[in-house]
Amino acid sequence: MASNGILAGLDLGTTRTVAIVAEPTEGEQLRILGVGTSATRGIKKGVVVNLERTIRSIEEAVAAAEKTAAVEIGSVTVGIAGDHVRSINSRGVIAVRNPDNEISRGDVERVIEAARAIALPGDREIIHVLPQEFTVDDQSGILDPVGMIGVRLETEVHVITGASTPIQNLLKCVRRAGLDVDDVVLGSVAGSCSVLTQDEMELGAVLVDIGGGTTDVAVFADGGLKHTAVVGVGGSNVTNDIAIGLRTPLAAAEEIKRGQASLLAIERKDEPLVVPGVNGRPERAVSREILNSIVRPRMEEILALSYREVKKTDYWDLLAAGLVLTGGGAMLDGTVALAEHLFNLPAKLGIPGGTLGYEEDLESPECATAVGLLHYAYRQAEGQRGSFGGRRILERVTGSVRRWVAEFF
């Protein structure tokens, strides 16, 4: 959080870059001051492939947000994605040092450090270390052990890592656009902050964020994040399929996907759809049945791969709250019904909440990550008890990111 209390998030998606600015209110909601968007040019599947184009996309989005908010953005919380992201659950154990055996905040930090001491290849870095629960002696299921009495403290944490090179390139783009980096947050972690309730996390829920280049999957149970995965297929693949199948430009294919495509059975299968030709070629009329026959297999693939990631965990039987879909790809007509069918779980669209202002722009599944970045940053700054613990528990983890940024840049 900036010294003036302003929060800023930067969501660098494969198709769209979003900069968002907010300030806290007394009721723990965030008042949105401004939103800026730009077409992403230079990122593919969450990874920077062209530095200069990515920098321009960031500058355009930030300039638009600054103009609407009438404030200057100095630092941002950055969302990260990409199929280079991996995760693992780890355990740490320490002996309580205090003579009276009372667990201190320092003990909590030490046990988390012990849990994050995992062997990593030299080309990977830790993005998050998220505590799931603590165990004091033989008593498990503890969310905050500070002040309790015990001789041994254990913790289960979820460690999320990423390849160093893509992260370095992303941070370099942000810094060359004139911004400091407050924190780096996985997209699905950020999205969960804006669309999932504590009840859903306790009962067990799956967040599936269908972005442009990748699909992020996050599994929650017993109030904590248990599993994350990134599937290397997203909404852009659907757009490409339409462009190739109907022989139409990508821009037209995207419009057709958003406005005409459906995964549901249609009554008038032969109703014509006019499709623009490529580079001045004449328009063509195709049936909606053909369009939907192109779209459905790719969406089935995306959801089936996501299902496979969830099914291989130990938490399949603990997902009473069901499925929450976010991202632009989730807005395709019939996606919720198809997801319910494939997962055999109740499903809904995840609409970001906890904000005031810009409702028409932000009350959409594709804004879940951008809004979630603000919620995550607010919890870190204020030290509130959130889904992943308070600021003090995580500050050493996020501090390592800042030290790492300083080291490289």
List the pLDDT tens digit at each of the 409 positions of the chain.
Answer: 554 689 999 999 989 999 999 999 887 789 999 999 999 999 998 899 999 999 999 999 999 999 999 999 999 999 999 989 999 999 999 999 888 999 999 999 999 999 999 988 889 999 999 999 999 998 998 989 999 999 999 999 999 999 999 999 999 999 999 999 999 999 999 999 999 999 999 999 999 999 999 999 999 998 889 999 999 999 999 999 999 999 999 999 999 999 899 998 876 666 788 899 998 888 989 988 899 999 999 999 999 999 999 999 999 999 999 999 999 999 999 999 999 999 999 999 999 999 999 988 899 999 999 999 999 999 888 764 333 333 333 333 344 434 333 333 3
CATH of the domain at 154: 3.30.1490.110
The answer to the question of residue 225 being in a domain is: no
In a domain, 155, yes or no: yes
Do the domain assignments include residue 263?
no
Can you tell me the distance from the alpha carbon of 190 to that of 371, in angstroms, rounded to the nearest whole number? 8
As a residue count, the chain comes to 409
**For residue 256, what are the contacts with CB-CB under 8 A and spacing of at least 6?**
242, 246, 248, 273, 275, 291
The number of C-alpha atoms within 13 Å of 361 and in the hemisphere containing its C-beta is 17
Within a domain: residue 396? no
pLDDT reported for residue 384? 43
Q: Which residues contact 32 (CB under 8 A, 6 or more apart)?
A: 20, 21, 22, 355, 356, 357, 358, 362
Structural domain includes residue 21:
no
> Which domain, by its residues, includes 125?
86-161
Give the separation between CA 373 and CA 28, rounded to whole angstroms: 15
Q: Do the domain assignments include residue 80?
A: no
DSSP collapsed to 3 states, the chain: CCCCCCEEEEEECCCEEEEEEEEECCCCCEEEEEEEEEECCCEECCEECCHHHHHHHHHHHHHHHHHHHCCCCCEEEEEECCCCCEEEEEEEEEECCCCCCECCHHHHHHHHHHHCCCCCCCCEEEEEEEEEEEEECCEEEECCCCCCECCEEEEEEEEEEEEHHHHHHHHHHHHHCCCEEEEEEEHHHHHHHHHCCHHHHHHCEEEEEECCCCEEEEEEECCEEEEEEEECCCHHHHHHHHHHHHCCCHHHHHHHHHHCCECCCCCCCCCEEEECCCCCCCCEEEEHHHHHHHHHHHHHHHHHHHHHHHHCCCCHHHCCCEEEEECHHHHCECHHHHHHHHHCCCEEECCCCCEECCHHHHCCHHHHHHHHHHHHHHHHHHCCCCCCCCHHHHHHHHHHHHHHHHHHC
Q: What are the angstrom distances between the C-alpha of 20 and each of 56, 60, 161, 275?
A: 17, 12, 25, 35
For residue 399, what pLDDT is reported? 41
- State how far the alpha carbon of 103 is from the alpha carbons of 133, 141, 206, 300, in Å: 15, 16, 33, 49
Number of structural domains in the chain: 1
User: Smallest Cα–Cα separation from 302: which of 128, 83, 40?
Assistant: 83
- Within-domain flag for 178: no
Q: How many whole angstroms from its chain centre is CA 396?
A: 21
Residue 90 in any domain: the answer is yes
Q: Which of 255, 252, 253, 290 is nearest to 270 (CA)?
A: 290
